[in-house]
Amino acid sequence: MIALHRPARLFLTLWVLAVCVTALGCSVSKEPASSLRESGPGKSGQAKPGARGKLPAYGMQAQRANRLREPDFELIRDGGVGFYRFSVLTSNSDDRDRPAVRIYDRLIAAAVSEGVELLPVFLRSRLKDRPSLGRVASPPESPAEHAEWRRRVRFFAERYGPGGNFWRERPDLPYRPIRIWEVWNEPNLPQFWDERGANPREYGRLLRETRAVLRAVDPGARILSAGIAWRYSGARYLAAVLDAAGPCSADAISVHPYAPTVETAIGHLADARAVAGSRGLHEVALWTTEIGWRVGGGGYYGVDTPAAQARALNGFLAATTRRRRELGLGPTFAFALRDRVDPTTGDVDSKWGLRLADDTPRPAWRVLTRWAKAAPRLPWPKPRACR
């Protein structure tokens, strides 16, 4: 190679760039590190590296989580709430049905079009024998059911993860493959464990095998453990899950610290941090993937008025912001976007919403959006290397 002096090298570099721009129409650009878009998939279908940016500090879940459309995501985005949590049912009729990709295609397309990050929650459900129970969350039990679960988890990861079929079919969309997956929801409650008693060893196995499938598809996938309903022996349950699944089975721990007071809810998070720390998981973030207060009706989670709901949410967000570093807290997801309406009667049958059923905002909606717009973004969980 011929050695050139610095002025000659500089002249040659500028000349090459000029030829490229004028003759070949080339352009030179640099994507900012804070960009929310990733580069599109290449011809091979594999994801090119791109800057995704940090994660939103606040998220939202709706009562009918899979029915949101583009106007809802526009509302969420404009409120500064950049995350949305929803359920992915691998099956809803004893594994005999095909995955309902049309539902998820519409939801994911609507969310990414508005720049909203997604947190899917893997679940499996079936019709219970007793008609009064209707459909329940039903984890796989037999070897055949576990094998089918793994196959369906892989199907969704290969469709919506990096280089997935969904992104190749929709080149018009911003390329934002799903890289974070939550495994199940509240497995320590009977209604989310086939009306059976809590079994942390069974859930630990499910978490471990699901993680293996997701990492086989996407080595950079982040796995969240299921949101644990902390009021119901959450500390004992989480400890047993971590013992059964292994300390590196999840990249973040999900907690649902519902409580009548802010102080009790923060105490739940402190207890979760203590359990994680006792297993050597000091650096693993705690995500609050559900928190909220129901308006009216009393009960453990109820408050009397919309103003009381707003005060409780404001107090919780203030306390978690103040103690984020101490407790190692990740994003917080508010439950729920709006009140639920019974489709058969048209009556409002659940008033957890930060907005009324007619979309009128309650004071709590303004609380959330104020905190969300002011919050700095948070780092992605680090994929833990398991041996």
pLDDT at 377: 96
Domain limits of the chain?
62-374
Share of the chain residues as helix, strand and coil, in percent rounded to the nearest 5: 40, 20, 45
| Buried b or exposed e, range 284-297, using 16+ CB within 10 angstroms | bbbbbbbbbbbbee
**CA 35 vs CA 55, 69, 108, 171, 301: distances in Å:** 11, 24, 19, 18, 39
Say what the pLDDT of residue 294 is.
97
Helix (H) or strand (E) holding 288: strand 285-291
pLDDT of residue 259: 97
pLDDT of residue 31: 29
- The secondary structure element, H or E, covering residue 122 is strand 117-123
Give the side-chain half-sphere CA count within 13 A for 156: 34
Task: Quote the pLDDT of residue 131.
Answer: 57
Backbone phi, then psi, for 320, in 5-degree steps?
Answer: -70, -35
Local mean pLDDT, 10-residue blocks, the chain (387 residues): 41 40 33 38 37 88 89 96 95 77 95 97 80 75 95 97 97 97 97 92 97 97 98 96 92 98 98 96 96 91 96 98 98 97 90 96 98 97 79
- Does 62-374 carry CATH code 3.40.50.280? no
- The Cα–Cα gap between 333 and 368 comes to 10
* Measured distance CA(338)–CA(365) in Å, rounded: 10
SS3 category, 376: coil
Residue 132: what pLDDT? 56
Question: HEC states along 198-212?
Answer: CCHHHHHHHHHHHHH
